[in-house]
Structure formats: C-alpha cells, structure tokens
C-alpha cells in the first residue's frame, strides 16, 4: 500500500509534532511516521524560551500550553561554598517577544497538546508504531519504506528523529564533533515537602568534587543532574539516591526516573540533501546548560515550515536553500555558549571562574533571505496591534510590516512603539513569518519595496 503527502515527517517528538501543526495550519498535507506505538510518558526536556512560545502561538497552541507551565526565574552558578559566581535572572514581566523570557514545563504535557493539535487537520496523519526502513529520492519526490510493508511518497521529507536519526544516517550525513562530551546522571523527582525544594532558580553547582544542576519544574517536579566520572553510573535507584544524599533523600521526594545521558556538542554537516531535511537533534546537539536543546529544534521548524509551504504553494524553490545557512550560525552561537557554561561548572577546580550577571542572547540568522546589515536576520519584537492581537496574529502566519505610522501596503501593517524602530534608525521593518526581520527602511517607499520583494519569494 502506498501513501502520499506533500511532506513526510519522521519522528513525532515535540519538534516533529510542532512542524506538523505549523504545516497543517498552512494547508499542507503531512504524514508523520513515529516508530514508538505511544507517546513517551516520562520527563525529558524541561525548558523553553519566549521565542519558542511565540512559535507555539504561530501553531495556535500557546494558550493551551500556558496553564501547565511555570515562568522561570533564572539560573545561578555558585561555587562549593554557595557563593554566586554568575547570576542569570529572567524577567518576570512579558518581554519584547510577547511572552515571558523563560518557561519550565513537563514534556509529556507539551507533547499531548501538540498531538491534539495535529488531530484538527484532516490532512495531517500520525502513524504510530511504524519505523522507516529505507529512503530513496529522485528529482520529483522521496520514497519511504516502512516496516509494515507500506510505502510513503512525499514531495519533501524532514527528519525530526533525534540524535540517532535514521534519516541522517540514510543520507550519509556526518556530525561534526564540537569538542564537548560528558556523561551525566539525570534524576527526576516529585518532591513531598520543603526539604527538597531549593527554590525557583536553576542552580549550577560549580563544585570540583561534584558538579551538579538543580532545576525547578512545574508543580512538584524537580530535576537533579550530576556529572559522572568513568564507571560511576548508578545501576539501581538506591545507588542514585546515594549519589543525591548531599542534597535530597527518599524521605523528601519520590523518584520518577533516573537515566544517564551523554551531553554532547555536534552539528550535522548537511541539513539538506535533495528533498530531505534535518531538524532538531537530528541536525545538532547542544549540552543542556542553557536549556536550549529543544528550543533550537523549535527554531528549525519555524524557519523551515513557512518555506516548505511557500515552495509547495508555487513559490521559488530557491527559498529552501536558505534553511541551513540561516539556522547554522544561530544554533552554533547557542551551542558555543552552552559549552562555555558547561565548562564553567568544573572550572573552580583551577580556582578560576567567571563572575557577574549574564543576559539572554538572541543570535541573528546566518546569510540567507534579506540583507544582513545588523538589522536583517535579527529577531523582531512582537507588539500589540490596535485590536489587541499580537502582531504575528495580525499577519496570520505571513509577512507583515512594523512601522512608526500606518500606511497601505500589500502586507499587513502594524504600528509599533517608536522606541525599538527609532533606536535602529528606521521608519519600519518587514517581519518574516518566523518572526525575524527581513529588512528595514527609513521611509514608507523603502518598506513598500521590501514588501514587494517578499511577495515575489512566494510566487
């Protein structure tokens, strides 16, 4: 039996499910192939940022996600004596992206929302319990063979199938190792009382004897991560409790799970081979010390979804050539900082550590669509329009203009507070469907030219 779809997505974790929702809202038929028969029930990722929530908003799911998350307070790096080395506070007010800067969440809750979102699209089909066994492609389509004997023919395939990606391996794409590799014990707890509660901040214990991390989650959820030396991985729950005894005991909490993870830094050399793309952990791996692993995959599919929809709708095929070049530079900067922070946790062994306050970074896109002049390719703010909607919603997933005054254009125009625009020396900017600036102009005529250029990409 042969099945067809415009886009086949391999993997229905949060990145694959989000891509399905983004494409479904654009009227693109999707078939998502997931080898596991049911959703994974235990915690994995625990943090996403305001940019990710903006993408969930674009998928029409932010309001459903919001009740189950906790606004993050920030992160502190402290030495063995408890002295704060680096403080990374997160604002508790709504930020320039239209959402809070940081959120804590339980991944099974998020995935459940994303899967319910898929169900609203008749042309988005999730096939659980199916594994891809072969992949081939030609100039016109991609063919996937499944382990149940069926085949899937699609215009494009996106591998969202994790660090051990079948799609990446089938395409013979190599990972570039960026030099960070450590084994850590990850323990998820449900606390019973105040004894196990270390507060609302994530704490990075920069301790020479036992580098560790404490993470505050929503509700009773707390996570501990401990760096392991060679051969130190616990084999039993009792041994895991023994390793945690410095901070928490079985009387304080219930252990939901413990697992050993290898924290790595790596980027795939090719994110596109013909009609096949890689996204999320299939394309890059980052240590978790900034909480940006899943966020990077969210950015991938936000970038890729509108471009796939544009090309499938008759737009210029060359639009897809910008995917890797734009996303690579952005994710590379996040990975580099996460690696530096990971090394800081053990840096006190040499008696040296960075000090001070840290701010969130919002790296620009690499070379691609639009100018790269210090404004093009940067993340645009999201403002409230006159009717109360957020500006991305006014555009309904398309290009739009943020300007200091209203005027008629081929795309929606939203009036923005003067400060952000005037600080950048422009009358307005054209914002892409993924929230990044396509370009800015000093006057109305320049914005009209930019808007016309954007429309030509879609034809």
pLDDT band at 123 (very low <50, low <70, confident <90, very high): very high
CATH fold group of domain 2-69+105-176+265-348? FAD/NAD(P)-binding domain (3.50.50)
Question: Please, which residues bridge with residue 126 across strands?
Answer: 32
DSSP code at position 66: G
- DSSP reduced 3-state for 79: strand
pLDDT band at 349 (very low <50, low <70, confident <90, very high): very low
pLDDT greater than 60 at residue 351: no
Pick the closest to residue 171 from 96, 273, 48 (CA basis).
Answer: 273
pLDDT tens digits for range 223-249: 999 999 877 889 999 999 999 999 999
Rounded to an integer, what distance in angstroms lies between the CA atom of residue 12 and that of residue 131? 12
Rounded to an integer, what distance in angstroms lies between the CA atom of residue 167 and that of residue 161? 7
All structural domains of the chain with their residue ranges: 2-69+105-176+265-348, 391-457
What's the pLDDT score for residue 196? 63
Element (H, E) at 332: helix 322-347
Rounded to an integer, what distance in angstroms lies between the CA atom of residue 217 and that of residue 204? 15
- Quote the pTM value: 0.96
Q: Say what percent of the chain tops pLDDT 90.
A: 85
pLDDT band at 209 (very low <50, low <70, confident <90, very high): confident
- Residues counted in the chain: 459
**H-only helix segments in 152-257:** 166-170, 237-244
- DSSP reduced 3-state for 211: coil
Q: How many CB atoms lie within 10 A of CB 94?
A: 14
Q: Are 239 and 112 in contact (CB under 8 A)?
A: no
User: 98 — phi, psi (to 5°)?
Assistant: 90, 0
Task: Dihedral sign for Cα 7, 11, 14, 15, please.
Answer: negative
Q: Are 189 and 198 in contact (CB under 8 A)?
A: no
Rounded to an integer, what distance in angstroms lies between the CA atom of residue 9 and that of residue 17? 9
pLDDT greater than 50 at residue 408: yes
What's the pLDDT score for residue 83? 86
| 212-216 vs 221-227, strand pairing mode | antiparallel
pLDDT tens digits for range 167-199: 999 999 999 999 999 999 999 999 987 766 778
Rounded to an integer, what distance in angstroms lies between the CA atom of residue 450 and that of residue 56? 27
pLDDT tens digits for range 244-276: 999 999 999 999 999 999 999 999 999 999 999
Q: Are 361 and 334 in contact (CB under 8 A)?
A: yes
Mean pLDDT for the stretch of residues 410-438: 93
């Amino acid at each position: 039996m042969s099945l067809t779809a415009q886009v086949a997505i391999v993997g229905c974790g949060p990145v694959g499910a989000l891509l399905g929702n983004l494409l479904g809202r654009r009227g693109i038929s999707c078939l998502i192939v997931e080898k596991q028969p049911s959703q994974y029930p235990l915690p994995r990722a625990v943090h996403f940022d305001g940019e990710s929530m903006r993408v969930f908003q674009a998928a029409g799911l932010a309001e459903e996600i919001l009740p189950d998350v906790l606004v993050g307070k920030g992160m502190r790096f402290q030495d063995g004596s408890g002295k704060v080395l680096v403080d990374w506070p997160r604002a508790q007010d709504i930020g320039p992206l239209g959402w809070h800067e940081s959120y804590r969440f339980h991944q099974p809750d998020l995935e459940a929302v994303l899967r319910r979102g898929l169900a609203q699209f008749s042309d988005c089909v999730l096939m659980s319990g199916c594994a891809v066994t072969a992949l081939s492609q030609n100039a016109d389509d991609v063919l996937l063979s499944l382990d149940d004997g069926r085949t899937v023919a699609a215009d494009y395939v996106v591998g969202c199938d994790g660090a051990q990606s079948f799609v990446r391996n089938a395409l013979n794409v190599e990972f570039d190792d960026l030099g960070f590799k450590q084994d850590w014990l990850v323990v998820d707890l449900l606390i019973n009382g105040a004894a196990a509660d270390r507060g609302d901040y994530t704490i990075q214990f920069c301790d020479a004897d036992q580098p560790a991390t404490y993470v505050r989650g929503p509700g009773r959820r707390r996570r501990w991560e401990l760096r392991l030396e060679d051969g130190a991985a616990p084999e039993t729950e009792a041994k895991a409790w023994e390793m945690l005894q410095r901070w928490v005991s079985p009387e304080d909490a219930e252990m939901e799970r413990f697992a050993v993870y290898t924290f790595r830094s790596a980027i795939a050399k090719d994110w596109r081979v013909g009609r096949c793309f890689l996204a999320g952990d299939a394309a890059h791996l980052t240590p978790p010390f900034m909480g940006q692993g899943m966020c990077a995959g969210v950015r991938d599919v936000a970038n890729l979804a509108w471009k796939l929809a544009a090309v499938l709708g008759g737009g210029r095929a060359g639009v897809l050539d910008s995917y890797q070049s734009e996303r690579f530079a952005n994710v590379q900067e996040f990975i580099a900082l996460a690696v530096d922070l990971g090394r800081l946790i053990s840096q006190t062994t040499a008696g040296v550590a960075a000090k001070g306050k840290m701010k969130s970074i919002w790296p620009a896109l690499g070379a691609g669509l639009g100018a790269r002049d210090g404004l093009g390719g940067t993340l645009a703010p999201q403002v409230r329009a006159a009717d109360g909607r957020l500006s991305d919603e006014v555009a309904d997933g398309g290009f739009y203009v943020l300007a200091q005054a209203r005027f008629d254009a081929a795309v929606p125009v939203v009036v923005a507070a003067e400060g952000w625009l005037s600080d950048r020396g422009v009358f307005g900017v054209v914002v892409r469907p993924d929230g990044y600036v396509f370009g800015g102009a000093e006057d109305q005529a320049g914005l009209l030219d930019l808007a016309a250029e954007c429309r030509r990409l879609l034809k």
